[in-house]
Structure 1
């Protein structure tokens, strides 16, 4: 680097001590905000909707963490394409690095980092493939160009150049009548959806002086618990 970056000084001043901060909430995040069975969906949907309304870039982006067969962790950002009481859904190549990791260890974590609103939500749990009908429904809603690219890509595998990648996509487009063609592009056999079925969901709200609010709900197997955590 041409100059030293003073990383320790890059502190973010969350919510002023006498005001609400960026999230616009007068009250502090509290355990009473999580109700229902399971307790997390209502608050999550509210916060997601407020992130959309605030025009947060890619409000459905989430950081997905997996662990491969050799115990090596990896994170990457993916887009959430569904969220309800059953969990959060994303789509990818089953033979990709994340797909191979999930085949070896079908557990994961995801984080929604709405930092501009002083909020984060963390999910941890089991991961299962979604029903083929759910994959098909989402696939048919995708733009045709995205369908063609997904069909052409051997996700996570090496390729010689950008030109090679473009050529592979062009070949698939030609096979199905072109980018503007009418021939339906089928769901690739190596592609589909996953659902993270949470066993824990943590809500985080940035507060002044690093006294952040953290509320955790966990599935104990006999019911959900809700508790406040220290920051």
Structure 2
């Protein structure tokens, strides 16, 4: 089949300004819960896009781990994305739930979460993941898989003798949104798009966008 012939008609649901919450985070929680109920694959997976040090956009999939007044994810602060967020603390995240024919795009300012928040999540992870955070020099070039496995053994031996702590180079970020767009697939590519934009007053302006 030719790529140009691949298409899907979206028919499941609709979305209107009159139907959404005045609070975009509440609206997101509603859609997230519906995605969970629909057993969406990797429901908390999101594409995180940062501003590369070379000026190019840079994207990868990370996992949403908390939703409060922002969207929280965890990573190595010394990784490529960590360095990019240090230089340009702005990013966008995108969720796609094909089971519901829905997408949510979010952009905003990014800050590190507190040490206590990072500690709490770090120690809730499986032991292997905790050790992995010490093992991987994330985003750096390594010579081989064997090098990584040798480092893993070294770390495992170390923590048989010493208390396992959270690495100082590993922790969380919180994206505080200033713009969100809820996209619902519709027939004939006439999709529904509802946009929230944060105003200086702190209120949210809600508008419909053309598909």
Same fold by TM (over 0.5)? yes
What's 1:34 paired with?
20
Q: CA deviation at 1:144?
A: 0.5
Alignment of 1:1-231 (within 5 A): 6-15=2-11, 21=12, 25=13, 28-36=14-22, 39-84=23-68, 86-177=69-160, 184-222=163-201, 223-231=203-211
Q: CA deviation at 1:116?
A: 2.2
Aligned length: 210
Q: CA deviation at 1:106?
A: 0.5
Cα pair distance change 1:184/1:13, threshold 3 Å:
farther
Counterpart CA distance in 2 for 1:150 and 1:138 is 13
What's the TM-score once normalised by structure 1's chain length? 0.87
Q: Is the 8 A contact 2:38 2:99 kept in 1?
A: no
- Dislocated runs of 4+, deviation >4 Å: none
Alignment deviations for residues 66-87 of structure 1 (CA, whole Å, 9 cap, x no partner): 0123211110000000112x11
Counterpart CA distance in 2 for 1:91 and 1:126 is 16
Q: Is the 8 A contact 1:90 1:193 kept in 2?
A: yes
Counterpart CA distance in 1 for 2:191 and 2:163 is 50
What's the TM-score once normalised by structure 2's chain length? 0.95
SS of the residue 1:164 aligns to:
helix
Cα pair distance change 1:81/1:184, threshold 3 Å:
farther
